[in-house]
């Protein structure tokens, strides 16, 4: 399998007409600031700092790990020897880009320095396959040839122009994708006077750096025999020690193995049409989507990270062109439901009542229900259930989630409730009854008594949970408004603590509370619903930690919640632990009418 292992350097690798191709199963360029910085530190500490007037740069070396390659079939076509990079993509791409940026800086200085001009020309031979490939073959000039958003940005850095190549139309799929290649170039030019900022280096320093990159970074060249099978498996094994591949990257590589008999251009088109269709979406965590999708119908959630990939390989050990395309189609088809769940918004053909419920579920930050929601939304879109059935089920699921969250009974077990939940109610008339039965089996059918008790006594405010708390307050407030004439809740974007969280001693609250000020229970009830209001940011700032009677004067009467506090103050209520609990009890009764079991 392995043939002619040698120790070499980048000058030897880049000096001939050659092309190192990043195979499709590889990820894109992934190094970031930490790896770039480490490279410069190693060069500085192990080579540059050791050079003195008695030594030459080439007397020093730094081991730069190994590069594993596999010769391509017809590898000498057009006079260019071609290799697939199985391991070492990040290292070889980094050096290639770094040499290109040095060359560009030296070219810019060419009018002022003949030395810079001549060395830029010399350096270019290590970057370009100088052949005439016709009007639509510019990419063949690259000595490091990638895809997945890196090819176009690499070409622009190496040649300072746009390519004329028929593959550019595929690269345009990445128009909103910021390649790490581009970020590396920006980092090299730098925004501060740091050691890596190449523009600050003299021509002599740049020439020295480029020579060090070409001659002093020693690599072990490991060529695999051209008939080596399963290059992807070798790649996964070798890369286990590097920057970990995500589950979606591993899965993409695995699925696309089914297209190995197709042309590279066709494979890239499939990748763009199916995979990038999702991967380039904003606010999407691809791995999370795949986890929820593959959990559908399972007895429990399949788990995160590499468990997703392990699950898929176990369940689909045979990959060919037909089933690979089926997998891609399913991943693309279900995404519309996932996107609707995590980004609820008005969509053509989707009732606003559905959107509102999904928004509330989304606000709970409990995404365990996602596999179930994807299945039932698909059945609705496919006209297998009607709107009334869907709304009944969604409301019941929302009620369960709200009650579980407020009672504080949420555990990891809930992620095992939803993957196959829809199979229990699909095509059944008594859907709600079955849901209740399943909730009871998982101990998630929270009684009215437990819900009310938790609403009164549990902390329902936390810095990382304010959207949920705000949603609860809005729903309660809405129910108390007549004729659906609501205030603009978007302006009521903060949560006010009537009895303040802090600064009670300095603002007279400690004296006002008397014995309650020393009661440990105060620290708990301060964060219960009875002590909370909705205010705009300016109003909240104005209320600050002021005494109760001063705060009440600043509360507007736009919301039921505010008018209720004003009324209690006017009735002579002292705002203490008892008053907070009494208000929590009153709000709990309203909450029970909002999130009630059918």
Domain residues of the chain, as ranges? 6-245, 266-444, 452-594
- CA 560, CA 579: separation in Å to the nearest integer? 17
Question: For the stretch 476-505, what's the b/e string if a residue is b when 16 or more beta carbons lie within 10 angstroms of its beta carbon?
Answer: bbbeeeeeeeebebeebebbbbbbbeeebe
Split at pLDDT 50, 70, 90, the class of 249 is: confident
Residue 75 has pLDDT above 70, yes or no: no
What's this model's pTM, rounded to 2 decimal places? 0.81
Split at pLDDT 50, 70, 90, the class of 170 is: confident
Mean pLDDT of the chain: 88
For residue 401, which of 354, 428, 363, 375 has the smallest C-alpha distance? 363
- Structural tokens at position 230: 């399963």
Split at pLDDT 50, 70, 90, the class of 108 is: very high
pLDDT of 1 reads 47
134 or 39, higher pLDDT: 39
pLDDT of 262 reads 87
For residue 475, which of 595, 361, 366 has the smallest C-alpha distance? 595
Split at pLDDT 50, 70, 90, the class of 509 is: very high
pLDDT of 79 reads 77
339 or 284, higher pLDDT: 339
What percentage of the chain has pLDDT greater than the value 70? 92
The stretch 268-283 carries a mean pLDDT of 84
- CA 476, CA 473: separation in Å to the nearest integer? 5
pLDDT of 177 reads 64
Residue 465 has pLDDT above 80, yes or no: yes
Model pLDDT for residues 196-238, shown as the tens digit of each residue: 688 889 999 999 999 999 999 999 998 887 755 556 666 666 5
pLDDT of 57 reads 87
For residue 360, which of 261, 494, 467, 439 has the smallest C-alpha distance? 467
pLDDT of 414 reads 87
Split at pLDDT 50, 70, 90, the class of 239 is: low
194 or 467, higher pLDDT: 467
pLDDT of 149 reads 72
Q: How many CB atoms lie within 10 A of CB 524?
A: 14
The stretch 490-502 carries a mean pLDDT of 92
The stretch 281-295 carries a mean pLDDT of 91
Reported as type and span, the H/E element at residue 429 is none
Task: Quickly list H helices, 303-444.
Answer: 306-315, 321-342, 352-363, 370-381, 387-407, 421-425, 431-441
For residue 163, which of 133, 121, 127 has the smallest C-alpha distance? 133
408 or 245, higher pLDDT: 408
The stretch 569-592 carries a mean pLDDT of 95
Distance of CA 595 to the CA centre of its chain: 32
pLDDT of 349 reads 77
Split at pLDDT 50, 70, 90, the class of 484 is: confident
């Amino acid at each position: 399998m392995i043939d002619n292992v040698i120790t070499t350097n980048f000058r030897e690798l880049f000096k001939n007409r050659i092309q190192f191709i990043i195979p499709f199963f590889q990820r894109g360029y992934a190094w970031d600031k930490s790896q770039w910085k480490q490279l410069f530190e190693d060069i500085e500490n192990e080579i540059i700092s050791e050079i003195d007037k008695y030594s030459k740069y080439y007397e020093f070396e730094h081991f730069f790990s190994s590069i594993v390659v596999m010769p391509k079939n017809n590898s000498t076509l057009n006079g260019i020897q071609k290799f697939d990079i199985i391991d070492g993509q990040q290292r070889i791409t980094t050096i290639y880009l770094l040499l290109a940026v040095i060359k560009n800086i030296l070219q810019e200085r060419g009018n002022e320095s003949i030395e810079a001009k001549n060395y830029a020309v010399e350096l270019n031979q290590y970057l370009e396959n100088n052949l005439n490939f016709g009007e639509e073959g510019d990419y063949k000039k690259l000595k490091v040839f990638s895809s997945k958003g890196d090819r176009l940005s690499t070409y622009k850095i190496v040649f300072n122009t746009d390519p004329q190549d028929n593959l550019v139309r595929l690269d345009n799929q990445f128009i909103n994708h910021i390649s790490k290649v581009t970020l590396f170039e920006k980092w090299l030019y730098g925004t501060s006077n740091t050691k890596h900022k190449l523009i600050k280096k003299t021509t002599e320093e740049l020439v020295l750096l480029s020579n060090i990159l070409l001659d002093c970074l020693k690599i072990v060249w490991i060529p695999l025999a051209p008939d080596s099978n399963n290059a992807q498996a070798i790649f996964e094994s070798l890369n286990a020690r590097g920057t970990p591949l995500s589950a979606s990257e591993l899965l993409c590589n695995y699925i696309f193995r089914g297209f190995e008999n197709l042309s590279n251009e066709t494979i890239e088109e499939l990748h763009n049409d199916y995979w990038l269709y999702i991967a380039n979406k904003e606010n999407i965590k691809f791995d999370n989507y795949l986890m929820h999708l593959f959990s559908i119908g399972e007895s429990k959630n399949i788990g995160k990270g590499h468990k997703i990939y392990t699950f898929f390989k176990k369940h689909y050990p045979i990959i060919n062109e037909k089933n690979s395309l089926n997998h891609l189609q399913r991943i693309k088809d279900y995404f519309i439901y996932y996107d609707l769940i995590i980004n609820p918004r008005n969509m053509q053909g989707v009732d606003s009542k559905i959107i509102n419920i999904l928004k509330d579920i989304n606000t709970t930050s409990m995404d365990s229900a996602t596999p179930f929601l994807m299945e039932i939304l698909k059945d609705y879109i496919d006209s297998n259930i009607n709107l009334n059935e869907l709304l009944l089920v969604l409301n019941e699921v929302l009620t369960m989630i709200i009650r579980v969250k407020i009672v504080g009974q949420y555990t990891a077990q809930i992620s095992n409730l939803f993957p196959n939940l829809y199979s229990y109610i699909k095509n059944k008339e008594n859907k709600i009854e079955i849901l209740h039965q399943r909730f009871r089996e998982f101990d998630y059918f929270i009684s009215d008594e437990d819900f009310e008790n938790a609403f009164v006594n549990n902390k329902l405010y936390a810095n990382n949970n304010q959207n949920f708390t705000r949603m609860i307050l809005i729903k309660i407030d809405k129910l108390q408004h007549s004729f659906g004439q609501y205030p603009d809740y978007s302006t009521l974007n903060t949560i006010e603590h009537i009895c303040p969280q802090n600064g009670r001693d300095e603002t007279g609250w400690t004296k006002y509370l008397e014995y309650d000020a020393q009661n440990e229970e105060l620290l708990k009830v301060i964060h219960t619903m009875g002590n909370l209001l909705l205010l705009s940011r300016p109003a909240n700032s104005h209320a600050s930690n002021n005494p109760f009677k001063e705060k009440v004067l600043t509360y507007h009467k736009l919301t039921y919640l505010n008018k209720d506090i004003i009324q209690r103050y006017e009735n002579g209520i002292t705002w203490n632990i008892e008053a907070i609990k009494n208000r929590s009890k009153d709000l709990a009764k309203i909450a029970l009418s909002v999130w009630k079991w059918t």
